[in-house]
Amino acid sequence: MSSGIPENRYELVSGLEIHVQLNTNTKIFSADSASFGALPNQNISTVSLALPGALPKLNKEVVAKAIRIGLALNCTINQVNHFDRKNYFYADLPKGYQITQDNQPICINGHLEVELSNGSKKKIGINRIHLEEDAGKSIHDQDDHYSLVDLNRAGVPLIEIVTEPDIRSPEEASALLSEIRKLVRHLNVSDGNMEEGSLRCDANISIRENGTNAFGTRCEVKNLNSMRNVRRAMEFEFTRQIEVVSNGGSIIQSTLNFDADKGTTSPMRTKEEANDYRYFADPDLPPIHISDEWLSEIKSAMPALPNEISRQMIAEFGINKADATLFAEDIDLLNYFNQALPIVNIKKTLINWLIGPIRAVLSERGIAIADYKVKPDQLAIAINLVDEKKITQQIAIQQLLPAIEETDNADVMGLAKQLNLLITENSNELDGFIDEVLNKYPQQVEAYKKGKKGVLGLFVGDVMKLAKGKADAKKLNELILEKLK
Ligand code: ADP
Ligand code: MG
């Protein structure tokens, strides 16, 4: 520090406001498609355009998804809650207000426990989760004279998760974000993609002297769109605020932008310049009533959460934590596993395949399990063929699975037969190969009979070659031993 004040005199205090774009088919208050990537102004109707008289109608799925994430974050669900208008004027907000929730959000008082790199756990409070609509998008760089407005995003459903100011380090912030990202994906609430903006975060940051209880004045850094930028913004602000205070200045409550190129923050507006949103309950939308029945229906349909799954897999299959985590944290892999599970003979074998050869194939090609063309039931059948010694593991991996990928709706057994990949069950054929090999090596056969047991490997290897690998090594051993008696 330029002032010579040691940084460890202060601690960082932070709370995050995390916006999550929900992955519903339609928007929060209209039947317009909520999908990304359409041509500008394709996904609009009278509601998105805010034509006079157009009324919002709440999408029930949005409420269900918010409840799911609320339950996962240990929140109390407000069974009666309502929408408010947040008034401000902006070109991409044609109504002149955003429909959001102010003093009565759908979820309150939750918490989430995150694990830090040193193995310690940290519990971070969730103050509230509220429902709201996204705004449209102004485009300033496509015309020399005009700004263009695309309202496809207007009305896309968002939830805002607001944490308590419990975060004390950039690491805790990114651990929390990555845990939330994992949960929204797991619960099929959002794709959680930070790069595409489905998950974005404002970080409120203040400092206080170690050992003191009162919170300092906070600054809010807006629109952080990657884990890394969240950490960088926090580190920068921490240092900046210490410097200000150490030089006798005081922190002015303000909203800041983060410049990702420079790694610095800069002021957008101070509290004095802040908008007065004049919130009031939206008269166009009745309060949301969540019935006890519906709430318990949603509760009972909740899947086990990642940490729970990890614990279960360790207990049930005796795998280690790292392997269990692979399944618990990759919902696509977990779904694949669960679909294959009822079909495989030995469940542990399925795990071994997925974290062994299948994972290797995927990472070699740089694709995700969701893009793997061998479907779960097909893989399960192939694994069973190996277990039942109808095909060798090597041929299954190197020939059968690639063939399945190239065939639409392949019948696995049919394909294996058609390609002549099955282990030769025909003992006559194997007998023939064995005779051929033993005849080829009369001296070695003699040597074997005199006790030089090591040559057996030579015979097995050669017979295997003649059988093009399609023989069960153990059975082959037995057949050869029989012949040599
Ligand atoms: P407002 O409603 O005025 O935006 P909130 O009290 O809801 O303020 O807080 C918004 C966010 O700021 C929350 O995530 C909260 O944890 C965080 N926060 C509040 N006070 C502080 C502080 N002194 N330092 C850091 N973060 C804070
Ligand atoms: Mg706020």
**Which of 192, 249, 253, 197 has the alpha carbon at shortest distance from 225?**
197
Quote the ligand 1 centre to 219 CA distance (angstroms).
9
pLDDT of residue 485: 80
User: How would DSSP label each residue in 90-142?
Assistant: BTTBTTSEEEE-SSS-SEEEEEEEEE-TTS-EEEEEEEEEEEEEPP-EEE-SS
Task: Check if 73 has its Cβ closer than 6 Å to any atom of ligand 1.
Answer: no
Which atom, in ligand 1's list, is nearest to the CA of 216? 23
pLDDT of residue 2: 46
Confidence label for 1 from pLDDT (cuts 50, 70 and 90): very low
**Distance of alpha carbon 190 from alpha carbon 106, whole angstroms:** 17
Which atom, in ligand 1's list, is nearest to the CA of 166? 16
Question: What spatial distance separates the first Cα and last Cα of the chain, rounded to whole Å?
Answer: 85
Quote the ligand 1 centre to 137 CA distance (angstroms).
27
Reply yes or no on whether the pLDDT at 278 is more than 50. yes
**Distance of alpha carbon 157 from alpha carbon 266, whole angstroms:** 29
Residue 39: partners with Cβ closer than 8 Å, 6 or more residues away:
none
Given the DSSP bridges, would you call strands 254-259 and 219-224 parallel, antiparallel or unpaired? parallel
CATH assignment of 427-484, among 1.10.10.10, 3.40.50.300, 3.30.390.50, 1.10.10.410: 1.10.10.410
Quote the ligand 1 centre to 309 CA distance (angstroms).
33
**Distance of alpha carbon 99 from alpha carbon 150, whole angstroms:** 18
- How many angstroms from the chain centroid is the CA of residue 340? 21
Residue 65: partners with Cβ closer than 8 Å, 6 or more residues away:
22, 23, 24, 157, 159, 187, 188, 189, 190
Instruction: Please tell me the total number of residues recorded for the chain in this structure.
Output: 485
Confidence label for 3 from pLDDT (cuts 50, 70 and 90): very low
**Helix/strand number for the chain, H first, E second:** 18, 16
Reply yes or no on whether the pLDDT at 4 is more than 70. no
- Out of 174-178, 263-267, 279-283, 461-465, least confident range: 461-465
**Amino acid identity at 435:** D
pLDDT of residue 275: 77
Reply yes or no on whether the pLDDT at 6 is more than 60. no
Q: Which token pair is 47? A: 């509601």
Give per-residue pLDDT as tens, 319-360: 998 999 999 988 899 999 999 999 999 999 999 999 999 999
Cross-strand pairs, 221: 203, 256
Identify the H or E element spanning 46: helix 46-49
Which residue ranges make up each domain of the chain? 7-293, 304-418, 427-484
258-269: average pLDDT:
92
**Distance of alpha carbon 107 from alpha carbon 187, whole angstroms:** 16
Contact 147, 208 (CB under 8 A): no
Which atom, in ligand 1's list, is nearest to the CA of 128? 7
**Distance of alpha carbon 149 from alpha carbon 304, whole angstroms:** 42
Q: Is 271 exposed, middle or buried (0-12, 13-18, 19+ CB in 10 A)?
A: exposed
**DSSP code for 7:** G
Quote the ligand 2 centre to 334 CA distance (angstroms).
36
Task: Check if 105 has its Cβ closer than 6 Å to any atom of ligand 1.
Answer: no
Q: Which token pair is 176? A: 């929390």
pTM listed for this prediction:
0.81
Which atom, in ligand 1's list, is nearest to the CA of 17? 14
**Distance of alpha carbon 268 from alpha carbon 482, whole angstroms:** 86
Task: Check if 86 has its Cβ closer than 6 Å to any atom of ligand 1.
Answer: no
Confidence label for 471 from pLDDT (cuts 50, 70 and 90): confident
Give per-residue pLDDT as tens, 384-399: 999 998 898 999 999 9
Ligand closest to Cα of 165 equals: 1
User: Which residue intervals of 155-265 are DSSP H helices?
Assistant: 170-186, 227-246
**Distance of alpha carbon 107 from alpha carbon 123, whole angstroms:** 18
